[in-house]
Structure formats: C-alpha cells, structure tokens
Structure 1
Amino acid sequence: MKITHLVPSLHPGGPEIGLVDLATAAPRAGLDISVVALASTSDTAQVSALRRLGVPVVELGLAPLDPRAVSRTARALREHGAELVHSHLGHADVVAAAAAMRNRIPAVSTLHNVKNDLADGGDRLRRTARIVARRRFVRRTIAISRVQQDWYRGLNAAVDTVLVPDGVVDPGPGDLAERNRRREALGVDDREVLAVCTVPMRRGEGLELLLDACEALPDQLPLVVALCGDGPMRPYLESRVDDTEELDGRVRFVHRHTDHASLLNAADLVVYPAEYGAAPTVLLRAMAAGLPVVSTQVGGIPEIVTPTTGVLVPQDAGRLADALVALTEDGERRGRLGAAARARFLAEHEAVGWAKRLAEVYASVLDPTPT
C-alpha cells in the first residue's frame, strides 16, 4: 500500500509522532510510505533520518494558512502515487481532507493531543474546522489512547474513532561501554542511580514540579537527575538549578542534541512529570529500554505505565520525591519493574506490530468489502 503522511513540519522540536519508527517498520507491514511536510525546517535531523531509510520526503515551504496548501499537497500526493493520505496535527488534517477529495483518494487522521484549554475564538474555530473535515471527508480517525477516545467523543464530534496505540522501534540490547562513557560524562558513578527526563523544556511538561521534588530529596540520596531536551524554559531552569544548592549537585543538563537512545541506555529509571499526555512516546521508549518509570498519573499515561512497570503519583512534589526515593533505594524493584516494562513493550508497542495494525486500518479503508 502506498501511503503518504502529511504533517505540519518535520522539526525535531515539534510533537513526536514516530514517523521514523514507522518508516523503519513499514516494509515488514507491507507499507510503502512517503512524507509531505507543509512547512520547511532548518533542523533536518528527522528529514535526513527518513531519507536514509529510503522514504521520499517533500517539504512544501508553506506558511501557516497558505492558500496554496491544498493544491500543492494534492500535486505531491499524485507525484508519490499515494493511494491514501494519513494526516497528523492541526492544519494538516484540514489540508489532507481537501487534497484527498481533490485526488479522489481516502484520508485517515490520527489524533495526537487532548486539548481543552483553547486560547481564544480562533482556537475554537480551528478545532471546529478539523472536526468538520474529519466528519465529512476522513474515512478513519485514529486515537492513540482510550482517554483520548473519550475526550473526543465528549466534543460531540460525531466521528467514530479506532484505537491504535503508538509503537517505537526496538533499540535492542544496550552497549555497556557506551553506557559507562555516558554516565562518566554526566559525573555519575557506579553507586549512583541515574534518572532521566527527556520532556521538552516548555510550559505544561512539569519540569518545575520535578525541580521542586528534587529540592525535597534527602541530601545523601545517591540519585542524579539528567534533563535532556530544549525549549523556551531552558534558560530559566538552568538558572534555578545554578542558584539552588539542593539542585546544583544533583541535576545535570544534557547537551541539546544528545541522542535520547544513548541517554536511556545509561539510565536506571525515567521520570515523566508532565501535566498531561495522551500517550507519550517517551514512555514507550523507556519501556523498550527496559526502564521503570516514575510518572504523574494524568491523561492516558496509566494505559502505558502500570503498577507492574512503574510508579504513578499525583501532581504533587512530595509524592514525586517519595517515589524517586523508594526506587533509588530498591535496585531489585527497579530491575523487576524494568523487565516487566520491556516485556509489555514487546507485546504491545513494538514498531512492527504497530505498523501492521495501521496497515489493517488502511486496508479496511481501501477495500471495505468484508472477506
């Protein structure tokens, strides 16, 4: 099946939707994929990764709401020989629906967020436009968690959704020498536990809550917390750590372009303090690496992190600190939770299985005749 994915942009700082993971697994699921991005990006990491996998990528270089978006997307779909277009995020959903109708091919759309805090009337208008586009022109709307399905039904969208949880590529066994090098570079010795947080450094990701929790940790606790990411809050977070004695010796900021996979390979656990998440991909990557997770109990996260694979806490710095202390002091429990997380990843979230489930959705659209 020749499937073209339409996205607003391929900038690595945007929402992670797993196209590189999907492209890696696609051939084993019988999928021939291409990618069209409405806007261009100066950071070509994702573009390069897709092209190395042999995936055709086109960046249209369009500004938001450019009136040429539909016609240029429709042309790109024809050039790729797309049998179906799969859209992701925001304006891309509306453009994909119109371009698919123009080319007389079906459209599929994935919901990636749960958003109730609309800023203004413009936000409400844009969401209404996406709902109308899905209702009238999109053949399948995919939800990535049950919580997200329930949220969308609550909008009175009158759009049926199919549940297809995301997947990520299996990283395989970690390299011990690389693990040791990474830990040494972070100043983490063999007696210390390394907790990694890879959320973007922006509002809503819970990083202030995490620093509050770190301030409450016992001074002698052998725990190092590494923050790996970038965003508008990074200067503030760095300044707060530098100015706070309890944080300065415990929290490390990792270089913005550090490979997350190598950091997870060096970690003992993952901490995810966000205020909301439909089904955060970072938690799937933690599971794939065989790491236990300490996370806030919000959104669709309990569908990923269970009592057998991690620890869920309310959005409370004291409770988060308590959970970090408990896992830091119990290596046997960390090992048990990590092994269960790895097993659950292989059963439910490995990329090839995900790609095959998407292929079933595409097939039901392209050939709806029951067999």
Structure 2
Amino acid sequence: MSQSPLRVAHLIHSLGPGGAENVLVELAAAADAGGLDPVFLGLSPHPDPVHARTLASLGFPVVQLELDRWDPRAVTRATAVLRGYQVQVIHTHLKHADLVGALAGARLKVPVVSTLHVIEDAPATRMARYKRTAGLLGRRRFATRTLAVSHSQMRWYQQLSGTTEGVEVLPNGVADPGVPDAADRARIRAELDVPDDGLLIGSASLMRPEKGHHLLLDAIARLDPELPVTVALAGDGPLRAELESRVAADPGLARRVRFLGYRDDVPVLLGATDLVLHTSLADALPTTLIHALAVGVPAVATDVGGIPDIVTPETGLIAPTEPAAVASAVQKLATDPALRTRLGAAGRAVFLERFEARGWVERLRAVYDRALAGR
C-alpha cells in the first residue's frame, strides 16, 4: 500500500565530507521507499559542501544558513525555513543540530527525531562537555524519538542519560551497489599497481585521531615482508599530512601504502579489494564496514563501539586495538582465500537483511509515523 508523502527536514551542522553527512545522501537516494519528501538544512558553512551539491543534484531542496557553530540566530532562521517548507517532522543529526532542531520543533509544534551518530566517552574540554550536555538536554526535553545506530551506542547513551526511554536502535543503511563489477575491479587494481598475484587492502575514513590510522600503519608494518600487499587509504582530514610523512620515511610502508584522498566511489573501491581494514579507536557505526558487507568483501576491524554490530565471526575478524593483534588478523585473512570467500558471502547476506537502504528507510518511516501519532 502506498504511503502519503511525508515532508521531513534533516538538520545537520554542515554538508561537507563526513560519515553523518554521507548518511543523508544514502537516505535521500532511497527516500521513495518510505514515501519521504526530505528537505536538507546545513547550519554552518563548510569550505567544500560536497554533500550539499550531491543532494541538490538529486533534486531535493537544500538550504545552507552559513552561520557559525552555536550562533543563537540559527534557531530563528531555521524555524523560518522549516515553516516555509511546511515540514511535518524534524530529524536532527549531531549536537549543534540537535539543539537547534529541538528548539525549532518546539516553536513549530512539530515532532523531533534525533539520530546519535557518535559515542563521546570523555570530551576533552569544558566547552566540549557543555556541548554534549546541551545536546543531551535538548533531546531529552524535546525529541520525540532518539535513534541509536548500534547496541553499544544505546548502552553508552543509557549510562550518560540514565534512561533509554524514547530511544531505540536503528542502524543506518546504504544503497545496494550490487556484486562488484569485474571491469571496475581490474581498473582500480591496475591504477594502484597491484600485481596479478597481489592482495589489495582497502580503508576509507576521515583521517582524524579517533579513526586509528597510526594503528593501521603499525599493523601493516608488522606484516610478513614477503606478503604481496598494497594498502589503499581513501579519505582526507587533519592527520593526512602527518600520515603521509610517516609513510614516506619508512621504506616498508612506502612500498605498500597509497593515499587516495577523498573518494566518492567508496563501494566501487572496496569492491576491488581483497579485504577491508578498519582500525578505529572509537566508532558508533562506520559506514565503510557496511559498504564492505554490501560488496561481499570481508573485514578486519577493531573491537570498539558499534563495530561488532557489523563485523561478526560470520562476516570478518575482530581484533583488539593493539598492532600485533590487528596484524595477526590481517595475516590470517590475507593468506586464506577460502575464508575470505566464505566471510564475504555471509557479509553480503547480512547486508541485505539489516543494512540495505530501502529497508532502512521503510523502518525510518515507521519511526516518523509513530512520532506523529504520539505527538
């Protein structure tokens, strides 16, 4: 039975590169599965609002307020935009938007849904703690539903807030890229000079401290030097120059590691790999690992945050955040093609059941409908 269109406004701090930002693109592409009619509102400027361009190219309304973070004018301006689009539900993403959206929703008497995208165990500064608390209070006071993207994040939020009332686990989804194309696989491996008997390891994440790139390099440095491995690091960020310098100064790493920068073809890239390596030190639900499931490529990943919701003994190998343990897991998977095939096939089945975008959007529509019914 078809559903009547539902106008949902998605508020986020900005529409530059990032995992939470990319979630909005995945949602937009599958919006019709839930009868959703989304509007996207970026609150603050970004030097490269790549996702704003993508969303606009898909034909969706995109508004960028261009206000600095935590500018109090954001509430009034956002409220005016949302009123103009006659939104029925407000969906917020990350702390700044949580607070702005909560206050705008109260003014408009519109239900607010908030997705938790990160796990913040110990904010480093007083201001960071204040912002976390402000987002928490905004959600508790005004959000009709709060969505945790993993069971680990649900437990973290319960410890932080003292309750799980109004909170449910709903993992994000990504579009099904289908089985990797042989021509794409061959092209990418040729671009990276992977020999015919070589192994390609892929990683895709922002180069920030919590993403664990130094741990990744520590592990790669411990691999058997005779193992024919090429490591492709997709992504950009504040640590990139430091990481490139480290690799350039180490002949063993320089021989193996390639820096690809920002990529808008991550599923295609990962589909050309033999295994995916993700060494986060903290991560709520990394999209890269969902992409790995989607293309049937097994992963080695660290045992943190929501990663065990994606990578299980049936779909990959989990390791503690210790270089030797990560290297051992990579070595095991790299030298056992039958194991890679078995884990990859199981991962593909898990993706279709739990993380495929159209099913995710249908479940999200049900959340919105419950929020409206319980208003």
* TM-score higher than 0.5: yes
Tell me by how many angstroms 1:14 deviates.
6.1
Structure 2 regions of 5+ residues with no counterpart? 1-5
Matched with 1:69 is: 74
Q: Counterparts of 1:140 and 1:257 in 2: how far apart (Å)? A: 33
Tell me by how many angstroms 1:17 deviates.
5.0
Alignment partner of 1:109: what SS? strand
Within 5 A, what are the aligned runs for 1:276-315? Answer: 276-315=282-321
| Cα gap change, 1:348 to 1:271, in 2 (>3 Å) | same
TM-score, normalization: structure 1? 0.96
Cα displacement string for residues 54-76 of structure 1 (whole angstroms, at most 9, x for unaligned residues): 21110011111212111110111
Matched with 2:3 is: none
Task: Indicate which of 248, 253, 260 corresponds to 2:259.
Answer: 253
**Contact 2:21–2:51 (CA under 8 A) maintained in structure 1:** no
Matched with 2:129 is: 124
Q: Counterparts of 2:190 and 2:261 in 1: how far apart (Å)? A: 15
Matched with 1:152 is: 157
Task: Indicate which of 186, 206, 217 corresponds to 1:211.
Answer: 217
Alignment partner of 1:139: what SS? strand
Report the AA paired with residue 170 of structure 1.
D
- Range with greater deviation from structure 2 (14-23 or 285-294): 14-23
Q: Counterparts of 1:340 and 1:13 in 2: how far apart (Å)? A: 28
Tell me by how many angstroms 1:257 deviates.
4.1
Structure 1 regions of 5+ residues with no counterpart? none
Cα displacement string for residues 176-220 of structure 1 (whole angstroms, at most 9, x for unaligned residues): 222211111101022111010112112121111111111111111
| Cα gap change, 1:168 to 1:254, in 2 (>3 Å) | same
Matched with 1:31 is: 36
Within 5 A, what are the aligned runs for 1:211-360? Answer: 211-257=217-263, 259-360=265-366
Tell me by how many angstroms 1:139 deviates.
0.7
Correspondence 1:45 to 2:50? yes
Alignment partner of 2:30: what SS? helix
Q: Counterparts of 1:25 and 1:365 in 2: how far apart (Å)? A: 21
Alignment partner of 2:180: what SS? coil
Alignment partner of 2:205: what SS? coil
Correspondence 1:188 to 2:194? yes
Aligned-CA RMSD value: 1.5
Matched with 1:143 is: 148
In the alignment of these two chains, the number of paired residues is 369
Report the AA paired with residue 341 of structure 1.
G
Q: Counterparts of 2:163 and 2:183 in 1: how far apart (Å)? A: 53
**Contact 1:214–1:246 (CA under 8 A) maintained in structure 2:** no
**Contact 2:33–2:358 (CA under 8 A) maintained in structure 1:** yes
Q: Counterparts of 1:308 and 1:337 in 2: how far apart (Å)? A: 6
Tell me by how many angstroms 1:264 deviates.
1.1
Q: Counterparts of 1:256 and 1:63 in 2: how far apart (Å)? A: 25
Q: Counterparts of 1:273 and 1:200 in 2: how far apart (Å)? A: 12
Cα displacement string for residues 220-242 of structure 1 (whole angstroms, at most 9, x for unaligned residues): 10221111111111111111111
Q: Counterparts of 1:318 and 1:84 in 2: how far apart (Å)? A: 48
Cα displacement string for residues 94-136 of structure 1 (whole angstroms, at most 9, x for unaligned residues): 1101111111111111111110221222222222222221121
Q: Counterparts of 1:46 and 1:299 in 2: how far apart (Å)? A: 26
Q: Counterparts of 2:244 and 2:194 in 1: how far apart (Å)? A: 19
Report the AA paired with residue 303 of structure 2.
Q
Matched with 1:174 is: 180
Tell me by how many angstroms 1:6 deviates.
0.4
Matched with 1:99 is: 104
Cα displacement string for residues 249-301 of structure 1 (whole angstroms, at most 9, x for unaligned residues): 11111143463233112111100011011111111111111110000111111
Matched with 1:368 is: 374
Report the AA paired with residue 203 of structure 2.
C
- Range with greater deviation from structure 2 (23-32 or 151-160): 151-160
Alignment partner of 1:212: what SS? helix
Q: Counterparts of 2:247 and 2:137 in 1: how far apart (Å)? A: 46
- Percentage identity across paired residues of the two chains: 44
Alignment partner of 2:72: what SS? coil
**Contact 1:2–1:81 (CA under 8 A) maintained in structure 2:** yes
Alignment partner of 1:365: what SS? helix
Matched with 2:171 is: 165
**Contact 2:19–2:286 (CA under 8 A) maintained in structure 1:** no
Q: Counterparts of 1:157 and 1:61 in 2: how far apart (Å)? A: 35
Q: Counterparts of 1:267 and 1:16 in 2: how far apart (Å)? A: 25
Task: Indicate which of 6, 14, 33 corresponds to 1:9.
Answer: 14
